[in-house]
Amino acid sequence: MTTTPQDLRTDQTPLAPGAPRSGTTFLGLPTAPRGVGHLRGDRPFPDAARDALRDGQLRANLGHATQTIRGKRAKVVAELPDWQQLRAAGSALKAATMARLDEHLEELERQVTARGGTVHWARDAAEANRIVTDLVRATGTDEVVKVKSMATQEIGLNEALEAAGIAAHETDLAELIVQLGDDKPSHILVPAIHKNRAEIREIFLRTMPRVDADLTDEPRRLAMAARSHLRERFLRARVAISGANFAVAETGTLAVVESEGNGRMCLTLPETLITVMGIEKLVPTWRDLEVFLQLLPRSSTGERMNPYTSMWAGVTPGDGPQDFHLVLVDNGRTAVLADEVGRQALHCIRCSACLNVCPVYERTGGHAYGSVYPGPIGAVLSPQLTGVEDNASLPYASSLCGACYDVCPVAIDIPSILVHLRAEHVEAQEKPTAESVAFKALGRAMSNPRLWRLAQRAAGLGRLVARGRPTMPAALPFPASAWTRSRDLPTPPAESFTAQWAREHGGRS
Amino acid sequence: MRVALFATCLVDTVVPQVARATAALLERLGHEVVVPAGQACCGQMHVNTGYRREAVPIVANHVRAFAGAEAVVAPSGSCVASIHHQQAMVARRAGEHGLADEAEALASRTYELSQFLVDVLGVTDVGAYYPHRVTYHPTCHSLRLLQVGDRPLRLLRAVRGLELVELPGAESCCGFGGTFSVKNSDTSTAMLTDKMANVLATHAEVCTAGDSSCLMHIGGGLSRLRSGTRTVHLAEILASTEDAVSPHQTTRPAVTA
């Protein structure tokens, strides 16, 4: 017996951002349910980040990896004179697609069906897991091979399959490392970015049956070990599960973009192929891929072209899987679509360029975000998919430096969405908090010049605490302590600039 | 030209010498400076912390205070970026379309200091003298939202006696981020540590920038480490002459308790 959606959905699903919070009438669209999948962390971001920041090995691994990939991306992006036009085209295509998503999805269903595939619609993670589990069970097998996929990580498919007695083997090298190490992915593109070669060698030696005991940490040797480990699974598996980078509505084509060729093995060898895809991944026409297949590899791996692009439409008799199922997952996406500021987050093509340039991600790593979607895009996507209150610390996990917006290949204005979600969180609070009381009082003072002068004079009294020193004491009460623990705070002057100016200029403004 | 100076709430209250320097510089260049008494804040701190409704009357106050100004200049990339990108947006969201239009009109006459000097006044050599080894940190909002580009560097290169040293990793955020520095204090400090390491690697006496908020952050860290490298706002450097060399420096090393 598998875990059913009903068992898991004991909690009331939180409302979408911006949904009317009426007591009796449910007017908001459902967000991703609690209790299934990996969109929520156990701890607020600042707490989880604190532990990550102390992990010197993690900091070194991440610093090295993000710096390398940043450099590669910058180099190949600079080669294209029309990069900004490509970004604008990507953004416009996504916005136009989202505006008529329902029509495009139905067209996709028609085309996939006409080519011999079967389309399934899943309202949320629990429904998607049930559909996939039932499909695998119907084949009579108890193991599947998996192509790297964010959607299946999001819905917690591996756990659902395991509960049904089905073993899911990750075949992407980094996903394999994470799975063998009983770990969690920490990056969209490079899930094991937090591990270095020596750590990977240790994981392989400990967990791979029949591994060469003399395995070194040389990348080639590690890849060969993974290769022989995976090869027997590719040849044995009767069912493969994939995600999709793109789906073309007009032709019913699915596309997977990868570097290793392990995805290609999964997509071609087994008898049954099940593809799980978020409903926002489609593009209306074949021609649209022209834009995205230029944007994606340069932004993600820093390559002009990715080594393997696999495309298929339905079933081709005598060639490849003879049974194809496409599972279209909502899991909160329609709720995101309903938010006119936040919906841009659905334009994401999962390149992870924003993670690689983010100064917060670079230092805390992906696990601190608690969701399979870490970094800047995760900080805007996860809270929207789950409802802001279920990921309330994530919109604040950014200094709003804007580096993410600059590199985003589809120009998602992540800083503006972060600010919007902070407001959604503040406005969802039914009771006043110490912060809201302070901000409201400060807001009143800043709207009224007379009150503001008084407030400035009060702030100037801070110099009495400093007792003649140029900086305030390091031991101040919270929240000032959060600053002074690591930084000096200048002692405020006796007189503000505007007061001094007015005095010296005889009250003339 | 008659220039209305927007000191910004932080500079006005905590580092008034930056506004004094801005006024002195503009007057030295032959312009009349006025300081509207009703000014307070642009509203950015409220908007960025999630209090966009509460920011609307702050925006209204700002628009009232600077009504009729020919040109508004502020010694802050971040506040000017907020005036350009946020004020009208929060007003419009609150249904205050009249205010939003006024804010937009005012924003089109509002300039960050280096942009005003280079683009409006057309000067890069402001006649300053500052005999120090200086490194420049491009603050995120001046770099990415306002795109001030190399304007501050061109101004600094024209300063007599100033030795400009390139800052490694210059475009990385210092970790300030407004309330981020308090809400995510540990991550903010980790970012600051790397910024300070780069600043100290230049062996500069002074780290400068166009935002007092970021300088307060970097300077607060350098001061806590008793590093001796201090932070000085770009306006203070440009206001310095042979007659008055950097009269007030923003952050002095803390007195050892």
Predicted structure pTM score: 0.94
Cβ-contact A399, B175 below 8 angstroms: yes
d(CA A148, CA A162): 17
DSSP letters for A209-267: TT--TT--S-HHHHHHHHHHHHHHHHHH-SEEEE--SEEETTTTEEEEEESSSHHHHHH
User: B133-239: which CATH topology?
Assistant: Rossmann fold (3.40.50)
- pLDDT tens-digit map of B13-67: 999 999 999 999 999 999 999 999 999 999 999 999 999 999 999 999 999 999 9
Beta strands in B48-146 (DSSP E): 71-74, 110-112, 133-136
**Confidence at residue A28, expressed as pLDDT on a 0 to 100 scale:** 74
Q: Do A359 and B38 touch (CB under 8 A)?
A: no
Q: Do A469 and B171 touch (CB under 8 A)?
A: no
Q: Do A439 and B220 touch (CB under 8 A)?
A: no
Architecture of the CATH domain A84-333: 3-Layer(aba) Sandwich (3.40)
- pLDDT tens-digit map of A329-341: 999 999 999 999 9
- pLDDT tens-digit map of A141-198: 999 999 999 999 999 999 999 999 999 999 999 999 999 999 999 999 999 999 999 9
pLDDT for A505 beyond 70: yes
Give the angle A123-A125-A131 at the CA atoms, nearest 5°: 75
Cβ-contact B254, B226 below 8 angstroms: yes
**Confidence at residue A25, expressed as pLDDT on a 0 to 100 scale:** 44
CA closest to B57 among chain A residues:
A447
* β-strands A253-258, A308-313 pairing: antiparallel
Residue range(s) occupied by CATH 3.40.50.10420 in chain A? 84-333
pLDDT for B257 beyond 90: no
Q: Do A490 and B60 touch (CB under 8 A)?
A: no
Q: Do A483 and B220 touch (CB under 8 A)?
A: yes
| Residue A368 pLDDT level (bands cut at 50, 70, 90) | very high
pLDDT for A23 beyond 70: no
Please identify among residues 52-91 of chain B the ones whose CB lies closer than 8 Å to any CB of chain A.
52-55, 57-58, 60-61, 65, 86
- The C-alpha of B34 sits at a distance from chain A's nearest C-alpha, in angstroms, of 6
Q: How far is CA A365 from CA A50, A185, A421, A422, in A?
A: 11, 10, 22, 22
| N-to-C CA span, chain A | 77
| Domain segments of chain B as ranges | 2-120, 133-239
**Which among B57, B61, B220 is the nearest to A489, CB-wise?**
B220
- Write out chain A residues lying below 8 Å of B216, CB-based: 489-490
Q: Do A400 and B51 touch (CB under 8 A)?
A: no
CA closest to A482 among chain B residues:
B182
Angle, in degrees to the nearest 10, between helices A45-53 and B185-201 = 40
- pLDDT tens-digit map of A157-172: 999 999 999 999 999 9
The answer to whether B183 faces chain A, any CB pair under 8 Å, is yes
Our measurement of the distance from residue A360's CA atom to the centroid of its chain's CA atoms, rounded to an integer in Å, reads: 14
Phi then psi for residue A419, to 5 deg, are -65, -40
| Residue B242 pLDDT level (bands cut at 50, 70, 90) | confident
**Confidence at residue B246, expressed as pLDDT on a 0 to 100 scale:** 56
| Residue B167 pLDDT level (bands cut at 50, 70, 90) | very high
